[in-house]
Amino acid sequence: MERRHIVITGAGSGIGRATARRFLQAGWHVGLIGRRVEALAATAAGDAALILPCDVTDPASVEAAFARIAAEWGRLDVLFNNAGMSLPGKPIDEIAVEDWLALCNVNITGMFLTARAAFGQMRRQTPAGGRIINNGSISAHAPRPGSAPYTMSKHAVTGLTKTLALDGRPWNIACGQIDIGNAATDMAAKMAVGVPQADGSIRAEPLMDVGLVADAVLHMAQLPLEVNIPFVTIMASAMPLFGRG
């Protein structure tokens, strides 16, 4: 079977790194997008990945990365639109406006720019088509205390997913979203120590193996384009999503 091509944003750590390594193991051509070349090289760990230094908040940087993808591969089968950031939990009036804008730049503008570039490549290539998988969050369903910026951004991702799933139909472009809860990464390490709950308490929460998230993304990516998983939630079973509040 012909090797397929995926680009992963935020590939220098966490979910992006785990997913990139899973696709490399499965024999895919993998493009790694992130700001830090050293971190991307560590993700590749000697495998023949395409390292694409890129700031997803910068339109010119995104266009340059996808131009290189077109030049190197000629086509793109999947984008895992994964890059994101969070902020410490605070009431909205204590959140600095510059922090809000920085988060929106990554979680909303970055998602838009990379989806835009991938959509354009998938639309132009022959045969046309491909799949975009957006990394949403449990927060696309229910907020944590003090999470207005992050929760708002992940609801925006859901809007992007639904729109692309509709707009991609004429060119055989599918779009789905994976909403992840408490995968064991550096970003989620605080969950195991204790985080604020809706009742005001501080409690530790269970984590799940990040490799299971990578397996779920691979499953979504391997589906034929006449099939789509619009939304899937994968989470540590006992985390307090159901019952928040």
Task: Give the C-alpha separation, 100 to 92, whole Å.
Answer: 10
Choose the catalytic residue: 23, 66, 80, 150: 150
Q: Is the Cβ–Cβ distance between 46 and 112 less than 8 Å?
A: no
Residue 235, token pair as written in the block: 């989470």
Residue 243: CB atoms within 10 A of its CB come to: 9
Question: In which element (H, E) is residue 135 found?
Answer: strand 130-135
Q: Is 150 a catalytic residue?
A: yes
Dihedral over Cα of 221, 224, 226, 231: its sign: negative
Q: How far is CA 242 from CA 131, 149, 188, 201, 238, in A?
A: 30, 21, 19, 17, 9
Residue 74: CB atoms within 10 A of its CB come to: 11
Please name the residues in contact with 180: beta carbons below 8 A apart, sequence gap of 6 or more.
15, 135, 136, 137, 138, 213, 233, 234, 235
Q: Is the Cβ–Cβ distance between 67 and 80 less than 8 Å?
A: no
Q: Among all residues, which ones are annotated catalytic?
A: 150
